[in-house]
Amino acid sequence: DLKAVYGIGEKLSARIIKFRDRLGGFLVEGQLYHVYGLEAEVIDRLLKKFKIKTLPTVNRINVNTAAVDDLTKLVYFNYDIAQEIVNYRDTNGQFMAFDELALVEGFPKDKLEIIQLYLFLKN
């Protein structure tokens, strides 16, 4: 179905599906802008044809207890960022608010609003 949109071929459709699957599902349409290689014009065409009709149930990660490997399951974190989150937490204590994640070295601050949809804070 994705390949029916002008500008999406085999590789991009596979990349969109892989990204969605790693997330556990798209929670907001703007997440398409985070798919590598997907141009804004193509995303605009996609959003005219496809919408999020029902929100998926995602397995949210407790950022205060998650190990590095757990954090890397979220597509927005590579190993280095996950390690920095754990190091920051070990040094400064548990996160009390999502905004504190922006203090972590290398954290993708511009994606914080979306990332926090996949996390939770529990002490």
Task: Check whether residue 83 and residue 111 sit in a common domain.
Answer: yes
Q: Which of 77, 76, 80, 73 is nearest to 59 (CA)?
A: 73
**Structural domain contains residue 83:** yes
Task: Check whether residue 72 and residue 26 sit in a common domain.
Answer: no
Alpha carbon of 118 to those of 20, 60, 77: distances in Å? 13, 5, 11
Q: Domain residues for 74?
A: 61-120
**Structural domain contains residue 114:** yes
In angstroms, the CA 109 to CA 115 distance is 9
Residue 93 has pLDDT above 80, yes or no: yes
Task: Check whether residue 40 and residue 79 sit in a common domain.
Answer: no
Which secondary-structure segment (H or E) carries 102?
Answer: none
**Structural domain contains residue 54:** no
Number of domains in the chain: 2
Task: Check whether residue 69 and residue 116 sit in a common domain.
Answer: yes
Task: Check whether residue 44 and residue 75 sit in a common domain.
Answer: no
Statement: the pTM of the whole predicted model exceeds 0.85 = no
Alpha carbon of 84 to those of 13, 15, 21, 74: distances in Å? 32, 27, 25, 15
Task: Quick: pLDDT tens for 12-28.
Answer: 999 999 988 888 888 88
CA angle, residues 99, 72, 116, in degrees to nearest 5: 25
pLDDT of residue 53: 82
Task: Quick: pLDDT tens for 31-53.
Answer: 898 899 999 999 999 988 888 88
Task: Check whether residue 69 and residue 113 sit in a common domain.
Answer: yes
pLDDT of residue 52: 81
- Where do the H-state alpha helices sit in the chain? 10-23, 40-49, 68-71, 79-92, 112-115
**Structural domain contains residue 55:** no
